């Protein structure tokens, strides 16, 4: 039994769940407790009690703890990657890469703990000194999704601790294993009791309690648009700081002058790797008419050749879908796309031969339009819509015609168009001849419009959410 970590102790619960491997439903990854509302209250109380001392601790204390965490993650990245692949379904190389990224994030924010700076400014009044400093918020509730079960927790937990906050962490109920392994590493890092707490369980119980409790000063959430909007309404009523990373319907523009091989690699990696279960996935591929037929035909051929299989198998390129509900959603959207008149070139079926798991063949729709549901709604699976564009200006208009604005990309050899698109794209992250999915850990992450709310995540910009600014005046 894997228990919650509350106030420096492993705490059991009366309720638990089996964590199943989506590659093989007969494989039970482990048994994990589900917290009650009382458990959440205990975790919040522990964080609230620990914060006054921790917030005034030295940067060296924070550096040491975060550096130890990062070092152990990196030393165990293969082991953690295998666990991640078993419980979430990423291929083993992707999973090991995600584990390594989590370690790098903790190492980065260990350094940031030593680089919290302020300003000393001259006052407009004689004899008065002005200091502008950053201080921790307090207790931060962290709610993370299932698709990146160790990297996303890392890029929220690490800055929260680096800037002197205390944490109550609720991972996705579908993938508690990676979160528990991370908490186990954190438990040995030297953090005082109560500074970090893990409460696994349902969002309706754990998440709701975190959001409603006045002792929690801020909520950072990554997940669905619907849930995020509900959280925003609740936190606004409580005047609680909120950071939301939600959905995406990301465009990849392919112009007539693009290097075809580069464009195909960007499309396939962006749309289908990680089984398309990324908010940055390029699910709308907008192609100029001059190369439209050649590109779509070759894309379909390359997609059909992708090897779908067990996440741990060395030959696998695309792992299983996360669970039954996501598989059914993928199938429903394939039916919707056909009914809307898009032309299914390949895939879109459940694969039975691959094993006892949630296997789905990556799908490519051609002749889609930007007003189709498959082009407007986030499917969160390996389903790509290819949309024709008359010219560059038309392609940009199509790319921006969405309620989302997380990531966008363009494949072109034109410096003029690349430069213009970086400015004209209504997205928080823009890629030129690079897949829309896949970002660095030391620079800002986040979007615009319906994709994000609040300050950016990752890199030095994380301080905007995890700290508050104080201005102090002193009569000299």
Q: For residue 123, what is the enclosing H or E element? A: none
Q: DSSP for 290-313? A: HHHHHHHHHHHHHHHT--B--TT-
Q: Could you tell me the CA-to-CA distances from 312 to 95, 205, 325 in Å, in that order? A: 10, 33, 22
* 266 tagged catalytic: no
Q: Which of 387, 369, 321, 386 is nearest to 349 (CA)?
A: 321
87, 245, 378, 457: the catalytic one is 245
CA distance 417 to 411: 10
CA distance 364 to 367: 10
SS3 of 470, please?
strand
Instruction: Give the count of beta carbons closer than 10 Å to the beta carbon of residue 414.
Output: 15
* 393 tagged catalytic: no
In 22-127, at which residue ranges do the beta strands (DSSP E only) sit? 24-34, 119-122
- Is 219 in contact with 138 (CB distance < 8 Å)? no
Phi first, then psi, for residue 297 (nearest 5°) are: -65, -45
CA distance 70 to 379: 33
Residues 6+ apart with CB under 8 A from 32: 1, 2, 16, 17, 19, 176, 177, 180, 200
CA distance 455 to 152: 16
438: left (phi over 0), alpha (psi -120 to 50) or beta: left
Q: Which of 237, 183, 186, 228 is nearest to 203 (CA)?
A: 228
CA distance 401 to 19: 39
- Please state whether beta strands 429-432 and 407-411 pair in parallel, antiparallel, or not at all (unpaired): parallel
87, 88, 98, 279: the catalytic one is 279
Name residue, tokens 């604005």.
Answer: 405
In 9-105, at which residue ranges do the beta strands (DSSP E only) sit? 9-11, 15-21, 24-34
- Is 357 in contact with 320 (CB distance < 8 Å)? yes
CA distance 350 to 330: 9
What residues are annotated to the active site?
A: 245, 279
């Amino acid at each position: 039994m894997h228990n919650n970590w509350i106030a420096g102790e492993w705490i059991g619960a009366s309720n638990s769940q089996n964590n199943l491997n989506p590659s093989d439903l007969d494989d039970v990854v482990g048994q994990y407790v589900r917290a009650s509302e009382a458990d959440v209250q205990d975790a919040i109380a522990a964080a609230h009690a620990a914060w006054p001392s921790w917030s005034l601790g030295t940067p060296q204390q924070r550096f040491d703890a975060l550096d130890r965490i990062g070092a152990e993650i990196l030393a165990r990245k293969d082991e953690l990657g295998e666990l991640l692949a078993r419980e979430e379904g990423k291929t083993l190389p992707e999973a090991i890469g995600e584990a390594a990224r989590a370690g790098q994030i903790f190492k980065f924010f260990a350094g940031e703990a030593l680089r919290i700076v302020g300003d000393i400014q001259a006052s407009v009044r004689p004899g008065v000194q002005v200091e502008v400093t950053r201080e921790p918020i307090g207790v931060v509730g962290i709610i993370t999704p299932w698709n990146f079960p160790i990297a996303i927790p890392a890029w929220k937990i690490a800055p929260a601790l680096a800037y002197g906050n205390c944490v109550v962490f609720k991972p996705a109920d579908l993938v508690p294993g990676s979160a528990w392994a991370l908490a186990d590493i954190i438990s040995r890092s030297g953090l005082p009791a109560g500074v970090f707490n893990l409460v696994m369980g349902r969002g309706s119980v754990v998440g709701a309690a975190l959001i409603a409790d006045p002792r929690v000063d801020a909520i950072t959430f990554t997940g669905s648009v619907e849930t995020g909007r509900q959280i925003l309404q609740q936190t606004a009523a409580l005047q609680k700081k909120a950071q939301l990373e939600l959905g995406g319907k990301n465009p990849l523009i392919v112009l007539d002058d693009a290097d075809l091989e580069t464009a195909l690699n960007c499309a396939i990696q962006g749309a289908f790797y990680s089984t398309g279960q990324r908010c940055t996935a390029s699910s709308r591929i907008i192609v100029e008419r001059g190369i439209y037929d050649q590109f779509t035909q070759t894309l379909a051929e390359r997609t059909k050749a992708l090897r779908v299989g067990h996440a741990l198998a060395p030959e696998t390129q695309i792992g299983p879908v996360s669970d039954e509900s996501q598989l059914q959603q993928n199938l429903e959207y394939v039916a919707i796309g056909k009914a809307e008149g898009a032309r299914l070139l390949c895939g879109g079926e459940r694969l039975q031969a691959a094993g006892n798991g949630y296997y789905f063949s990556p799908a490519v729709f051609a002749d889609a339009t930007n007003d189709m549901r498959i082009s407007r709604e986030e499917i969160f699976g390996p389903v790509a819509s290819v949309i024709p564009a008359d010219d560059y200006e038309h392609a940009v208009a199509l790319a921006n015609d969405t309620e989302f604005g997380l990531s966008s990309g363009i494949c072109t050899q034109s410096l003029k168009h690349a430069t213009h698109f970086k400015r004209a794209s209504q997205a928080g992250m823009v890629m030129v001849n690079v897949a829309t999915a896949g970002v660095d850990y030391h620079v800002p992450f986040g979007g615009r419009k319906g994709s994000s709310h609040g300050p950016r995540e990752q890199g030095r910009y994380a301080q905007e959410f995890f700290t508050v600014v104080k201005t102090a005046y002193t009569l000299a």
